[in-house]
Chain A
Amino acid sequence: MGYTFAEKIISKKSGCQVSAGEIAIVQVDLAMATDTTAPLTIQAFKEMGGVLVKKPARTVFVIDHATPAPNEKISNLQQLIRNFVLEQNLVLYDQGDGICHQLMVEEGHVRSGDLVLGADSHTCTYGAVGALATGVGSTDLGAVLLTGKSWLRVPESIKIVLTGELNRYVTAKDAVLAMAGKLTADGATYASLEFCGDGAAKLSIDDRMTIANMAIEMGAKNGVFTAAIEDEDLKPDPDAVYINEYHFNLAEIEPMLACPHQVDNVATVQAKAGMVIQQAFLGSCTNGRLTDLAIAAKILKGKKVAPGVRLLVAPASRKVLLEAMARNYIQELIRAGATILPPGCGPCVGTLGGIPADGDVVISTTNRNFKGRMGNNKAFVYLASPVTVAVAAVLGRIARPEEVIQ
């Protein structure tokens, strides 16, 4: 009987052969925390008697959730992070650098075959580059800083076979929303998702990141693209055991939405066409990358955001912003009426900027539409692709791309 990726990598990092359901103590290659989770991480590390961080060069702190700091309290917590980073010689990304998950991949911190724990639930994004990456809380991360280790329950695995190719103006976001609709918000709880098949292998790194990013929205511990696993010894065996298997033909994926207030409440864009919107957001660790800005700029070029609609754009990183400027995407978005925000997470999580008003309908490229998620529990958030968001921004209502793109 063979082993899955999760079984193989946890066995390697723990030094003993383990199978799904077993508990293992693993060496953690890379640790990450954000301004939401780092202060409690530092506090836990100190309370545990921590003096020196075990692996400083592979401990990354990112100030991205509420930056630039909106008030003195938050500013002081961010200062606490900077002081700790200096004291311990850790890696820091500060104001304006970008969103943690984008930076971890873009700056080459994550490598294929790494075991990564991050104090942010969307740490699962790094499965796009062949890592076992999962979100933990601050105290767990404090323990990683102290010991370089953690304990993991070896997850059962679910195989997601992707075939075919996405149609024009249908994106990886539509595919992952379709997956969330099928698997449901807790259909993969505790499990490791393995994205495989020729359809998965052909997806770009940006597309893989969008899909792996939302593994947590189905309850998964992690999601990995098997095509990105470089170490032969970590590739899943053909006779590995899976608790479930799903098949998606990317050519059959339609433009999709997740309707309020849960990710698995999915509908086709066609089914909700005509829904009037007040705010559109393009950004986040799911869809703030260059390809996302490119497609939105292409749709909005020479057009205007509809009256009564506020379009917000937050590039995923400083590099993405610079490249999008070099290619005129940002200029085209601004001319169309978009408001450009600094790279960061703010609007997605209701921590900074773009808080919707009571009753507002928001269309957003983010990953969560929980009630109150964007900072107002009386708003209605629809999750969608960058294409659908750009189209809705132009028309002031949800519509299929053909209405705007000739």
Chain B
Amino acid sequence: MSSINKAHVYGDDINTDLIIAGKYTKTLNMAELASHCFEDIDANFTTKIKPGDWIVAGRNFGCGSSREQAPLAIKHSGIQGVIAKSFARIFYRNAINVGLLLVVCNTDQITDLDEISVDLFNGSVIINKKLKIPCEKLSPIMQQILEEGGLVPYLCKRGDF
């Protein structure tokens, strides 16, 4: 799992209401959901990102609601994954369950539009092909769920936990 894409940098405590406002959550249409992603924090978000880009943030990314629409909005906007210092726990589970990549590492040295390459197998994030930052590894069960592409394919295959 390796790729090179741009970073879009935000701060600490990016909550689920900022990721997708409550008023937009009542839908099963993923394109519609994605069109409002990050609307309250960055009105240009959906036009400036390119498929495969990364969101980079500080502490406590995804705090707040259990709405799975938050990782779904990010995923369907074309963002490949989120790199942050830490994640709120419900968001963390939800993202893995819907197959959105999450990377936990020190993000202090990452600036907006840096080129990002993530090597999940070796546990590192590479910035502008130079700086290598070590990242945390997922727990075995989360790794298995992510490898299957999310919890739906995981349970389709196994039928049970």
Task: Write the nearest CB–CB distance from A69 to chain B, whole angstroms.
Answer: 9
With A37-B68, A189-B89: A139-B151 Cβ-Cβ less than 8 Å: yes
Chain A minimum-CB-distance residue to B21: A372
Task: Check: A121 CB closer than 8 A to any chain B CB.
Answer: yes
Q: Which residues of B contact A377 (CB under 8 A)?
A: 21, 40
* B13 & A121 in contact (Cβ 8 Å cutoff): no
Q: B8-44: which have CB < 8 Å to A?
A: 13, 15, 17-18, 21-23, 25-28, 40-41
CB neighbours of B13 from chain A (8 A): 185-186, 262
Contacting residues, chain A, for B156 (C-beta < 8 A):
47-49
- For A135, the chain B residues whose CB sits under 8 A away are 66, 90
When distances are taken between beta carbons in the complex, the residues of chain A under 8 Å from B63 are 185-186, 219
On whether the beta carbons of B22 and A373 are closer than 8 Å, the reply is: yes
Residues of B within 8 A of A47 (CB): 152, 156
Chain A residues with CB under 8 Å of B94's CB are: 136-137, 139-140
Q: Is the CB of A189 within 8 A of B18?
A: no
Q: A48-B156, A350-B22, A371-B40 are in contact. Are A151 and B68 (CB under 8 A)?
A: no
Chain B residues closer than 8 Å to A136, beta-carbon distance:
66, 90, 93-94
Q: Is the CB of A147 within 8 A of B28?
A: no
Residues of B within 8 A of A370 (CB): 15, 17-18, 64
Q: Are the C-beta atoms of B26 and A351 separated by less than 8 Å?
A: yes
B69 touching A119 by the CB < 8 A rule?
A: no
Q: How many angstroms from the CA of A370 to the CA of B71 in the assembled complex?
A: 18
Shortest distance from the beta carbon of B31 to any chain A beta carbon, whole Å? 14
Type the 1/0 row for B60-97, where 1 means its CB is closer than 8 Å to any CB of A.
Answer: 10011111110110000000000000101110011001
Cβ–Cβ < 8 Å partners of B139 in chain A: 23, 153
Number of A-B residue pairs, CB cutoff 8 Å, is: 144
* Chain B residues bordering chain A, tally (CB within 8 A): 43
B148 to chain A, nearest CB (A): 12
Report the bound CA distance from A66 to B23 in whole Å.
9
Q: Is A74 in the interface zone, CB < 8 Å from B?
A: yes
A77 and B28 form a contact (CB under 8 A): yes
- Complex interface residues of chain B between 112 and 138 (CB less than 8 A to chain A): none
Whether the pair B67, A37 counts as a contact (CB closer than 8 A) is yes
Bound CA–CA A264/B21 (angstroms): 21
Asked if A8 is at the interface (CB within 8 A of a chain B CB), the reply is: no
In the bound assembly, the distance between CA atoms of A349 and B13 in angstroms comes to 18
Given contacts A36-B67, A73-B26, A120-B66, contact A151 B88 (CB under 8 A): no
Q: Which A-B residue pairs are the 6 nearest by beta carbons?
A: A137-B94, A137-B68, A186-B60, A372-B40, A349-B22, A135-B66
Q: List 24 A-B contacts (CB under 8 A).
A: A23-B139, A23-B140, A25-B161, A36-B25, A37-B67, A39-B28, A44-B151, A49-B155, A49-B159, A121-B90, A137-B67, A138-B68, A143-B155, A149-B161, A186-B13, A186-B63, A189-B86, A189-B89, A216-B90, A219-B60, A219-B88, A350-B21, A351-B26, A377-B40
Starting from the known contacts A119-B66, A351-B22, A371-B41, 15 additional A-B residue pairs (CB-CB under 8 Å) come to A23-B139, A35-B26, A40-B28, A44-B151, A47-B156, A48-B152, A73-B26, A74-B26, A77-B27, A77-B28, A121-B65, A185-B60, A189-B60, A189-B89, A370-B15
